[in-house]
A and B are shown apart, each in its own frame.
Chain A
């Protein structure tokens, strides 16, 4: 589905990604772990098309297209979804109005008719139940005054509504208590199919108890320095990141 080759990215003069190589196939769940400052969030931002980062080298192929040539909204319409670590509050824009616009612009780009109101509402009802998102939050302004858990559930709700091919979850577990973590993970697992893929970015192993990865990669100093199965996450949980750092620095 997505093939990242030798990806380099920097912000200002500072190089952050220094040659990422990663391939994710349909039906797979990949976890990217790593210590703070290793470039995890940069990778997700770059894949979503954040213009604050400059791509200095490498390529990203997404379903046969050169992803780096596409604008942020084109990537979204092609099926990339980024669940933000810190979802943005947008006062004055209602959740529903925003989602309807997002869905209809995506449909329009695909040459489809706007979603019928009835179908939209039915879908909202179904998908919000998936993450136990209260109906009153849907009518409120995007993320404004939401608790940390509500913001993260709103991200997964949006993901469910937009039905992406590749979902990138950026530290979705941060700021979540165990109940919210279960709800969010349940939502993500329900959305999993053989046709889509998920990249889970996390600092801790605990999310991976609920969203079980097929592959685990360790990102350090802007490179993937170690890859393995789900047991690698357990090893990291137990031993921390120091042994990896030592291996790399040796």
Chain B
């Protein structure tokens, strides 16, 4: 018997979704074909793989998924809208763009092109650039079978934030949105990403976002992850920065059964600023994993990274932040910090900050702390009449609040504070 296929798990995984007839656009056929070939040689990672050491994917890979286009649903999006903040809205349902629910931008400062309508020369320079779809099976899966997406190009200072809302519903559904964001020279763009899920069981969202910041542009990317049960979420963000640009990512996880966020920034030009902020507060048996890479490929740049989390009950948190400073990237200021508070004896945090420096004239620091709530501070607050519960809430709010305070849109900050239960 020699019929055994080496990577039958992957083949089985894609055999269901590949038979669907939803994605056969003419566009991207070459890119999809290459990715499908790569998939044949890949397997799902195990925890023996350092990059996946603390996040098991077996609960994701063993489900038989199908696509489920529900883009004609009538949706109530009020829960994710931000009070007093006017935004454009691009809505995806199960990974498919829902035009009827979207408020597409109409602005001279902005081009929004759906990938199905895009021309090769519009996306060719940015599609899959620096995305690791050679060894990373989830990136390859997205490239081979992405469901839908947009290419957003900022021409000038865009007047309103673009709110991207992913709506998910159904059982054993896979959703693979794929978006590209280009801020052209001297432009400014703000993206807010929110999610709603209703009646999901074994739902897997595997999204890829690619960012291209041309010279002297500014791009802010806010992500709010607040999921009800039944969602497994894998997000991969790849950022390319040219000179004098400023990229800021803010990742706020409120709830989610299983979340893995990968954010990889390639700083290709001088005088860039990169900011990565995140907060997470898993409880029950939730699993929240943030992996980041900042790769300083050019000199005279600054990066700031700060992730903070509280881990309660039997939950698990993972943080892995890598900063590379390449050989000729002198005068780099790179700061990275991860602070955690364990709220229960059964909570787990795996934190690994990493710094690889090949240049000699740089200022870099990284640090990680994992501790418990300050009992003396709780006693102090109680001695003034606060209950233990509100003393604890006040301290947690103060702890996570530090990274929520980074939000530059006051209306959004208020929303995030409210989601975390802070006044």
What is the total number of residues of chain B having a CB less than 8 Å from a CB of chain A? 22
Residues A53-92 near B (CB distance < 8 A): 71-73, 75-77, 81-82, 84, 87-88, 90-92
* Smallest Cβ-Cβ distance to B376: which chain A residue: A88
- In the bound complex, residues from chain B placing their C-beta under 8 Å from that of A84 are 380, 383
Interface of B is mostly: helix
CB–CB B398/A105 < 8 A: no
Interface: A2 (CB within 8 A): no
- Which residue in A88, A103, A141 is a CB contact (below 8 Å) of B385? A103
CB–CB B384/A88 < 8 A: no
- In the bound complex, residues from chain B placing their C-beta under 8 Å from that of A77 are 385
Interface 1/0s, chain B 377-396, versus A by CB < 8 A?
10111111111101000110
Known: A105-B387, A105-B390. A93 touches B382 (CB 8 A): no
CB–CB A76/B399 < 8 A: no
C-alpha gap A82/B376 in the complex (Å): 14
- Which residue in B374, B377, B382, B397 is a CB contact (below 8 Å) of A73? B382
Minimum distance in angstroms from B17 CB to a CB of chain A: 46
C-alpha gap A102/B385 in the complex (Å): 5
Interface: A101 (CB within 8 A): yes
Interface centre among B381, B388, B390, B401 (most CB of A within 10 A): B381
* Smallest Cβ-Cβ distance to A87: which chain B residue: B380
Q: How many contacts between A and B, using CB within 8 angstroms?
A: 74
CB–CB A49/B385 < 8 A: no
CB–CB A105/B376 < 8 A: no
CB–CB A49/B387 < 8 A: no
C-alpha gap A12/B403 in the complex (Å): 39
Interface 1/0s, chain B 344-388, versus A by CB < 8 A?
000000000000000000000000000000101101111111111
- Which residue in B376, B394, B401 is a CB contact (below 8 Å) of A101? B394
CB–CB B402/A102 < 8 A: no
CB–CB B382/A90 < 8 A: no
What is the total number of residues of chain A having a CB less than 8 Å from a CB of chain B? 31
Interface: B117 (CB within 8 A): no
Interface: A205 (CB within 8 A): no
Interface: B121 (CB within 8 A): no
Interface: B423 (CB within 8 A): yes
Minimum distance in angstroms from B384 CB to a CB of chain A: 4
Known: A88-B376, A97-B423. A72 touches B382 (CB 8 A): yes
Minimum distance in angstroms from A144 CB to a CB of chain B: 10
Known: A88-B377, A88-B380. A106 touches B385 (CB 8 A): yes
Minimum distance in angstroms from B377 CB to a CB of chain A: 5
Minimum distance in angstroms from A42 CB to a CB of chain B: 14
- In the bound complex, residues from chain B placing their C-beta under 8 Å from that of A162 are 384-385
Minimum distance in angstroms from A171 CB to a CB of chain B: 16
CB–CB B384/A102 < 8 A: yes
CB–CB A101/B386 < 8 A: yes
* Smallest Cβ-Cβ distance to A82: which chain B residue: B383
Interface: A202 (CB within 8 A): no
- In the bound complex, residues from chain A placing their C-beta under 8 Å from that of B379 are 48, 50-51, 72
- In the bound complex, residues from chain B placing their C-beta under 8 Å from that of A105 are 385-387, 390
C-alpha gap A97/B386 in the complex (Å): 12
Please name 21 pairs of A and B residues whose Cβ atoms are closer than 8 Å in the assembled complex, sorted by A: A71-B382, A72-B379, A72-B383, A73-B387, A76-B383, A76-B385, A77-B385, A81-B383, A92-B395, A92-B397, A92-B402, A93-B394, A93-B395, A93-B397, A98-B384, A101-B386, A103-B385, A105-B387, A105-B390, A158-B384, A162-B384
Q: Please list the residues of chain A having a beta carbon within 8 angstroms of any beta carbon in chain B.
A: 48-51, 71-73, 75-77, 81-82, 84, 87-88, 90-93, 97-99, 101-103, 105-106, 109, 141, 158, 162
